Chain A
Amino acid sequence: MEFEKPLPLQTPAATPFWKGLQDETVRLQQCDGCSHWVFYPRNHCPRCLESSLTWRDVSGEATLYSFTIARQPTAPHFADEVPQLLAIVELKEGVRMTSTLIHVEPEELRVGLPLEPYFDHVSNEVTLLRFTNNSDKTCE
């Protein structure tokens, strides 16, 4: 049986986020009402329910909030990624997102590890936001 890797089912509210990644820019929404940074993208602020949110370019600088090393695939679709370096990443703005780490040795992993964005152009239409602590390798 073929297991094609699942790509993000993109939604209209998140279009600026996905377009930003294609241009190697991280964009987040910020609430016009309470200044709360928002992720995942949506039409209401999850702190005050204000529906006026503004997209802003951010640096993508982050730290590792938590992680695990999946020694067996979480689904057959990811068998080629084992050991999967799954991560909860906290951006400088305070929002958290799920990602995977790339060009990182499992032994280097620790909570609080400084991370930079790694734009993984998985197809012409889709760029995934992964993270790394080794930007030298990302330039190879």
Chain B
Amino acid sequence: MGLNGTAAIVGYAQWPHVRRYTDEKRFTIDQWAELTKQALKDADLSIDQVNGIVCSEIREADMFTPATIVEYLGRPVNFAERVDLGGANPVGMVWRAAAAIELGIADVVICATPGRPIPSNPNRGPVDPRRYFQSSSHKWGSPQAEFEIPFGNLAQNCGYAMIAQRYASEFDYKPEALAKLVVHQRESAALNPLAAFYQKPVTADDVLSSRMIADPLRMLEIVMPVAGGGAVVVASKEIARQCPHDPVWITGFGEHLTMKTPTFAKDLCRSPVGPASQTAFEMADISRKEIDACEIYDCYTITVLLTIEDAGFCEKGEGMEFILDHDLGFAGDFPVNTHGGQLGMGQAGAAGGMTQVIEGACQIMGRAGDRQVESCRNVYVSGTGGIMSEQAALILQGS
């Protein structure tokens, strides 16, 4: 079932993640084109070879997104997808690109996630106070508008905090383990010039004494919003063999969705990344032990903990011990988020999860420099959208 593993990531563009973006602001479609140009250059391919795109939302159009992008690029395509999985978008985008290539309907597919600010509209009217409701739909008929928003169950912090609190009631909750995870990731970020926290490591005490935001989550366990963006080029085997970098084969994926609001999760402590990862490992026909690095979606520390457990790297309830027992640094025995993760790079909106895909490719290509994992051949990547409500997993492998 699934992919044969004959499509590969052959190049990428990763913009630096910066807290304050001071360069010229451009529209999302401009950013899409710039990322495309840079990623194609990295793969030594030309725009004339592109015949597929996978996008997510753009700020300039609510509908007809792929057509808007294709028109701007001036490049007709045979395959165009818009993925709507929040933070799981990049993982969802990459497997769709690989599937289209394996089906033979495209040869070179661009997956891009711009995440820089756009120009301020000089003609904008008064600010709609509902903008604070963010990803919670405030439209009439939306269950959130009727049953969530009136209680202030908004944004992400509180949902993840309630997952963590539930976990603490069922299993052993060790704040020091989650602090250790942050320390490891910030060590890797300190070596990554593209990270917002480049050269800024933290101690466990820093994490444990940072401000409580939503119990039990503290500030340093939560991603910081930044500007950034990234893109990957996915290509067929024939094209991949001509590209300068070692191809990063997409050999397995899985995706699983269960709900929108965690209140309606069957079991808050068992996340959809479990079934998604099981599918991915079976498709790639690879065991957990063969994985050299994990690039785990990390909007919060609790997300990483649940993913380590649910993806099957340890038993349910033993994740805290597992973190304490392992070195999660790039040179450790269980490397996690070797680029610093989003906790170390900062979260550039929907582009956040693309850092995990790009780092997986970067490690397999052997281009990670100071933070290179030794003989890195097999990488597990996860993506998380909503509040652990829509998740996806990828297996990336070298030749």
Contact = CB atoms under 8 A, between A and B. Distances in A.
Interface of A: 1-11, 14, 40, 65-78, 81, 84, 86, 88, 96-100, 110-112, 128
A77 B129 contact: yes
Interface centre among B133, B151, B161 (most CB of A within 10 A): B151
Contact of B152 (A7, A66, A74): A74
Nearest to B212: A71
A40 B315 CA distance: 33
B160 to A, nearest CB: 9
Interface residues of B, number: 42
Contacts of B154: 74-75
Interface string B148-177: 111111110110011101101100000000
A110 B140 CA distance: 34
B162 A6 contact: no
Interface centre among B130, B153, B261 (most CB of A within 10 A): B153
Interface of B: 127, 129-130, 132-133, 138-143, 145-155, 157-158, 161-163, 165-166, 168-169, 211-215, 217, 261-264, 268
Nearest to A79: B152
B150 A6 contact: yes
Interface of B is mostly: helix
B150 A66 contact: no
Contact of A88 (B155, B162, B211, B215): B162
B141 A68 contact: no
A10 B141 CA distance: 8
A73 to B, nearest CB: 8
B167 to A, nearest CB: 9
Contacts of A88: 162, 166, 262-263, 268
Contact of B162 (A67, A100, A110): A67
Nearest to B150: A8
Contact of A40 (B147, B151, B157): B147
A96 B262 CA distance: 10
A96 B150 CA distance: 16
B234 to A, nearest CB: 36
Contacts of B140: 9, 11
A74 B262 contact: no
Contacts of B152: 70, 73-75, 77-78, 81, 84, 86, 100
Contact of B214 (A8, A68, A96): A68
A97 B139 CA distance: 19
Contacts of A69: 212, 214-215
Contacts of A9: 138-142, 145-146
B158 A70 contact: yes
A98 B129 CA distance: 22
Interface centre among B138, B140, B143, B150 (most CB of A within 10 A): B150
Nearest to A75: B132
Going nearest first, the 4 A-B pairs with the smallest beta carbon separation are A111-B169, A68-B161, A75-B132, A66-B166
Given A66-B268, A74-B155, A40 B169 contact: no
A68 B215 contact: yes
Nearest to A65: B166
